């Protein structure tokens, strides 16, 4: 099953653990259906797959007590198709057919007809409150609580020559990346050392100018963001000081560990062996 998951995952994109978790849940639902019908997983026919999709479009979910959403049906069908494509390619299935013909979009979405007209429906969930933007004073207190600013002063009239950097914390740098470059949490933790060093290598950065830095966004695709020079300088300083100390301490404890290359590091996520991707293990990084 683990081999199947690695094959189902996209060849081009990094796949998040939440995606694998969703695929696992989809397959559990499929196997529940097969068990109920007393079908063997590798002996299904196209009619069995059609019946599975039909059961979702016509029945009520035992978990939510509501009809399946069209998005859920499409996702489960996509997982089922990918799984059986993999199984057929490995010669594991008894019958061969075009799994691409099994398509959730060919089924009409659930009817608006009430099953029990006399039964009162539950009240709808209240609408979310309007998004409240954080005000400047609250933001300032939040940033100061994370650590001092990485910049002490800039002479606006001579920004290229008068720039004083001071020590700060990794958490403050992460928050500054969110604020200054508009990055999400996952995008901050996906920043790579090599992409920061590519900007600072052999270059004199203007603190108020912005410079392009690559990071990974949702779906594992690359995006380029603009980060001010003073923040890039602070990130480069972090790489050569605090991050370097963490790497040295980790490799001293276990010489077999290797630097994963990501900019920010948590206490529980330091370095991993070659071949182990920790891109989406973010809980300790931010």
Quick one: pLDDT at residue 59? Answer: 82
For the chain, the domain total comes to: 2
Quick one: pLDDT at residue 112? Answer: 44
Quick one: pLDDT at residue 193? Answer: 93
Q: Are residues 100 and 155 in the same domain?
A: no
Q: Are residues 79 and 143 in the same domain?
A: no
What is the 3-class SS of the chain, one letter each residue? Answer: CHHHHHHHCCCCCCCCHHHHHHHHHHHHHHHHHHHHHCCCHHHCCHHHHHHHHHHHHHCECCCCCCECCHHHHHHHHHHHHHHHHHHHHCCCCCCCCCHHHCCHHHCCCCCCCCCCCCCCCCCCCCCCCCCCCCCHHHHHHHHHHHCCCCEEEECCCCCCCCEEECCCCHHHHHHHHHHHHCCCHHHHHCCEHHHHHHHHCCCCCCCCCEEEEEEECCCCCEEEEEEEHHHHHHHHHHHHHHHHHHHHHHHHHCCCCECCCECCCCCCCCCECCCCCCCCCCCCCC
Last residue of a domain, one of 61, 90, 106: 106
Highest mean pLDDT among 54-63, 103-112, 166-175: 166-175
Last residue of a domain, one of 85, 106, 127: 106
Quick one: pLDDT at residue 67? Answer: 84
Domain residues for the domain of 241 are 136-253
pTM of the model: 0.50
pLDDT tens profile 125-180: 555 566 677 888 888 898 889 888 877 666 656 655 555 667 888 999 999 999 99
pLDDT tens profile 237-267: 999 999 999 889 888 988 888 888 899 876 3
Q: pLDDT over 90 for what percent of the chain?
A: 16
Q: Are residues 184 and 82 in the same domain?
A: no
Is 285 among the domain residues? no
């Amino acid at each position: 099953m683990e081999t199947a998951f690695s094959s189902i995952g996209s060849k081009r994109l990094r796949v998040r653990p939440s995606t694998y978790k969703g695929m696992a849940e989809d397959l559990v639902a499929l196997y529940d259906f097969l068990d109920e019908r007393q079908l063997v997983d590798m002996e299904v026919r196209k009619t069995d797959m059609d019946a599975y999709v039909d059961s979702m479009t016509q029945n009520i979910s035992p978990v939510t007590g509501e009809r399946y959403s069209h998005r859920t049906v499409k996702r489960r069908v996509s997982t089922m198709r990918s799984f059986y494509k993999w199984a057929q390619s490995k010669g594991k299935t008894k019958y061969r057919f075009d799994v691409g013909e099994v398509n959730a979009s060919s089924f009409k979405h659930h009817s608006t007809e009430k099953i029990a007209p006399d039964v009162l429906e539950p009240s709808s969930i209240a609408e979310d409150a309007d998004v409240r933007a954080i005000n400047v004073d609250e933001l300032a207190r939040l940033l100061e609580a994370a650590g001092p600013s990485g910049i002490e002063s800039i002479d606006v009239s001579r920004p290229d020559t008068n720039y004083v950097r001071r020590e700060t914390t990794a958490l403050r740098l992460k928050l500054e990346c969110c604020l200054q470059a508009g990055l999400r949490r996952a995008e901050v933790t996906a920043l790579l050392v090599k992409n920061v060093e590519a900007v600072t290598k052999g270059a004199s950065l203007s603190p108020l100018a912005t410079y392009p830095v690559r990071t990974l966004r949702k779906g594992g695709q690359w995006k380029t963001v603009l980060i001010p020079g003073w923040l890039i300088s602070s990130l480069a300083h972090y790489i050569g000081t605090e991050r370097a100390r963490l790497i040295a301490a980790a490799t001293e404890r276990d010489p077999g560990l290797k630097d994963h290359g990501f900019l920010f590091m948590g206490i529980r996520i330091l370095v991993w062996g070659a071949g182990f991707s920790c891109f989406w293990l973010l809980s300790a990084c931010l």
